[in-house]
Chains A and B, each alone.
Chain A
Amino acid sequence: MNRDDGELLLFWLVPVLGVTWLVAFLVFPGFVHPMSPTMSAEQVAAFYRDPENLPRIRYSMVVFNWFCIALIPFVSLIVMQIRRMSHRTPILQYCYLGCLTGGPVLFFIANLFWLLAAFRPERRPELTQMFNDLAWVTFTGQVGFLVAQCVFLALAIFLDRQARPVFKSWVAHFNLLIAAALAPASFVALFLTGPIAWDGFLSFWVRNSAIALWIVVMTLVLGKNIYERRREAGIAR
């Protein structure tokens, strides 16, 4: 097995993880119809105490706890593409590397708050509500690293000035578009209703669809690059 084959293994983890995340997302009862921030403490406690919901909350969040960090190897493959770009310094590569851990680790923390809320749902409703708030604000509002990651990649692509650039320039524009789609979610706590609220159009539907779309599109362009390079290097599939 040569060293590029290892990259293929990491690459083919992505579709597997994508399915895992999608299933966990659908199993968590708080996502399918996103929980409203206007729910009272009693309603939030009832949501966690509901014997139909409780196992689904725990199992889906355990799955996310296992696999949310698994995004990092995938994004590391994008770092390998940035390394191949025609840059004068490794600065943009380091910028991108510095963003990799932030997003998944913050999701990991949100995930802990959800699991804690579900650990003893018989606790005072106000406590369950507080953990639920911490989880949703962390999950929804923490888009900074993902935004920066998209912007740094776009800059890296624009500055990759060679006859055959590593990524075509539409990939840069696409990343900027995703960054813009994620940005409004930062202000999630300002409103309990409307598009910015954590169950709102921008903060929930646009933000999460943008992340899903980003993973799908980047998987495709990354896979194309990896396979093209193998063909050129004459490595048998």
Chain B
Amino acid sequence: MDAINRRRFLTTTAGLAGILAAGVPPARGQQREISYLCWNNFAPASDKKLAEIGPRFTKDTGIKIRIDHIAAPQQAAKYASEVQTQAGHDIVEMRMHFPWLYEPQLLDLSDLVAEMEKKYGKVVSSATEAAKVKGVWRAVPQYHAYFAPAYREDIFKKAGLKIPDTWDDLYTVGKELKKMGNPVGIPISQNYDSISTAGPVLWSFGGMEVDKDGKTVKINSSAAAQMVEWYRKMYKDCMEPEVLSWTDSSNNESLQQGKAGWIHNPVSAYIVARNMKLPTADTINHHRSLAGPAGRHETDVPRSIGIWKFSKNVEASKEWIRYLIGKKEVYDEYIMSGDAFNLPVYTNLQDHPVLKTDPKFANLKGEGVQYHIYGWPAPPSDKIQLITNSFILPNMIAKAVTGSSTKEAIAWADNEMKKIVAG
């Protein structure tokens, strides 16, 4: 080791002092290395594909990338800690309304979204509602998993049941299904799948929780009363009380294990049955989303990618998003790996080749269906999110089907929502 002479000591310390004072490392020391935090995808093959794409990105751009995964339930706590400490990953995967939740901490990525839209067409409605916060894109929409009816085709054929086209049609076939021991499986519990059905039913009947101003509670309406009455008769004649205790995975399991005859869920119920070679796999199929007097509405889980404002590698992070979503062949490759669970959120890519990989995906096309995130048409502000996370909608229905009158149940929800909106 060379001896340290006075001149070298002075040069080094002066340089170090300069770096510390400026807070910016010298160009030679700046690492082109970024970190990306995303969830453990329900389609594990997508995570494997991501692990393949990462090193290719490094090879093509010279930017190192570290990809970390986290279970969905831990995302909120992890993101909160990164924001509070202003340290952590550069890039984060955003689920649904997350861009609204972390808005002040996320970079404006409107330039990137403009590039994507130029290439792939407009972002679909739900992904726009989720990632465009007060006119600014806080994240770049990546993909979505949407809800669609999944049913036991063999039972329908055997009993000569007509594929339902409306929520009222579902009641007609649901009664027969229950008699056959294959009830309809719609959760009415404190989970997100419950909201994912309650929302579309409410919208299809013309109702809403809060108006688009985000302030006026509108749950106390005749449309909401119709929706509650629909649930009441469905619960009594088409379903079993077990739906009151269901988790997000219970409806999938019920269909896969041969009990439920009809569920409302992303395509994962079928994919898991097929991949695990369950006897029911061949008997499951999908059909077009159901309509109500006010149209055909669905919900989905749009996901997008954001960059924290505290990131010191903004340009390199943008390069990753351009590579992963903006490079058509990479984006296609990633979407294909998701097996129709992760579908594109850009209008020109809606008829994606992934929908042709399995005949059971043929009916997943969403023509004429309006996709919205929870709480629509209100913007997903923190108050609307508290209404969602407090499970007021499914609890209102649960109250009604377990003894409260429709009026009482709606009055309870109205009161709870008004307190949250006013608070």
Q: Do A and B come from one complex?
A: no
B binding-site residues for A, Cβ under 8 Å: none
A binding-site residues for B, Cβ under 8 Å: none
